[in-house]
Amino acid sequence: MNRFDYICPTSVAEAVSAWAPGSAYLGGGTNLLDLMKIGAMQPQKLIDVKKLAGLDTIEMLADGGARIGAQVRNSDLAHDSAFAAAFPMVAEAILSGASGQLRNAATIGGNLMQRTRCAYFQDAAAACNRRNSGSGCDARDGDNENLAVLGWSDACIATNPSDFCVPLAALDAIVEVAGPNGTREIPFADFHLLPGDTPETETALEPGELVTAVRLPAGAADFRRNARYLKVRERTSFAFALVSAAAAFRFADGKIAAARLALGAVAAKPWRIAEAEALMVGQAPGSELFARAASVALEGARPSGDNAYKIELARRTAARALTMAANGTPTRMPALPASPFGDHAHV
């Protein structure tokens, strides 16, 4: 690990003022510090934002939405009873990620900013356009069976590893940020970027901007009775998704009045599928409808290497998540959150 400066500001304004090229904001550190140890990231300055006032609160808003401070810990959000009741698939997604110890340290803002788990990004000796622009992509001809099948480019085939971000995409979350030019809001759909020719630019953040909160809008809680997150992984505990899906419905008179569907671990950002959602509106729920919607969701998919299997796996995961959501949100969190092997008792 290279030498670096470390500062601990006391306000958002002070943190933003301290930023300079080569700096990194430090929250829980569960991703950043690991990458520093293996040489995949080498910031010259760490700006510790864990103790900034006002960033560690969960607010249930009067309009039915919620505002989550960027320094709220993953475990605190998932176990907040009011939040979990209003946004159950978000809580289910958080509890399916990492281990209990990591969830106790990791923060909401850090979750949004976590880097890909592509082995070539993490190997400082490998060619990786995301880590070192213009160096190439060793993943293209390497170990790529778990990498992207949607939205990838010749420059990068990495995937976004987050569980938490998938239901946020489905629920139209908003990211609040502060930076040298003041504060602004970024729609979640625009926050993470596809690689194109510039995979080194992973988010819509401008230099020096800091995530301060995530907000779920009014209406997001309307899906609470029929909302699920499903994660397929190589082992049930402490593993990143091969494919995941967040699915939710609002019903009226036995028909689907509104639908939400987003996929995870298939692209460099959570993959929201508006066309599949529109297909289901006005229809009665059922396996044939969900299979058609899942097929629409994967229409643009293509292998980026030895990963053609992920396309069919994603179709099946999407269809099963839709079925689970239609059956209803469980009265209690499953023993194995988001797992195909969990207890799926429902209302």
Query: What confidence tier does 341 reach under pLDDT thresholds 50, 70, 90?
Result: confident
What tens digit of pLDDT does each residue of 153-175 get? 999 999 999 999 999 999 999 99
Residue 345 confidence (pLDDT): 42
Residue 342 confidence (pLDDT): 74
Distance of CA 160 to the CA centre of its chain: 7
Q: Which residues make Cβ contacts (< 8 Å) with residue 114, sequence separation at least 6? A: 31, 161, 162
Percent pLDDT > 70 in the chain is 99
Residue 226 confidence (pLDDT): 98
- pTM for the structure as a whole: 0.96
Query: What confidence tier does 346 reach under pLDDT thresholds 50, 70, 90?
Result: very low
Instruction: Among 56-60, 62-66, 79-83, 96-100, name the one with the lowest average pLDDT.
Output: 96-100
Q: Could you give the CA distance from residue 85 to residue 89 in angstroms, rounded to a whole number?
A: 9
Q: Which residues make Cβ contacts (< 8 Å) with residue 252, sequence separation at least 6? A: none
Query: What confidence tier does 114 reach under pLDDT thresholds 50, 70, 90?
Result: very high
Residue 278 resides in a domain: yes
Residue 280 resides in a domain: yes
Domain extent for 299: 223-327
Residue 50 predicted with pLDDT over 70: yes
Which CATH number goes with the domain that contains 264? 3.30.390.50
Residue 102 resides in a domain: no
Question: Residue 116, Cβ neighbours under 10 Å: how many?
Answer: 24
φ, ψ for residue 206 (rounded to 5)? -85, 160
Residue 94 resides in a domain: no
Angle subtended at Cα 43 by Cα 39 and Cα 48, rounded to the nearest 5 degrees:
120
Domains identified in the chain, total number:
1
Residue 250 resides in a domain: yes
* Sequential DSSP letters for 301-339: ---SSS-THHHHHHHHHHHHHHHHHHH---SS--SSTT-
Average pLDDT over residues 104-110: 96
Query: What confidence tier does 2 reach under pLDDT thresholds 50, 70, 90?
Result: confident
What tens digit of pLDDT does each residue of 9-19 get? 999 999 999 99
Instruction: Among 5-14, 184-193, 272-281, 332-341, name the one with the lowest average pLDDT.
Output: 332-341
CA nearest to 272, candidates 160, 104, 108 = 160
CA nearest to 237, candidates 117, 321, 341, 314 = 341
Residue 198 resides in a domain: no
Residue 74 predicted with pLDDT over 90: yes
Query: What confidence tier does 343 reach under pLDDT thresholds 50, 70, 90?
Result: low
Residue 9 resides in a domain: no
Distance of CA 35 to the CA centre of its chain: 19
Residue 187 resides in a domain: no
- The radius of gyration of the chain's CA atoms, rounded to the nearest angstrom, is 20
Query: What confidence tier does 347 reach under pLDDT thresholds 50, 70, 90?
Result: very low
Residue 329 predicted with pLDDT over 60: yes
Average pLDDT over residues 80-99: 95
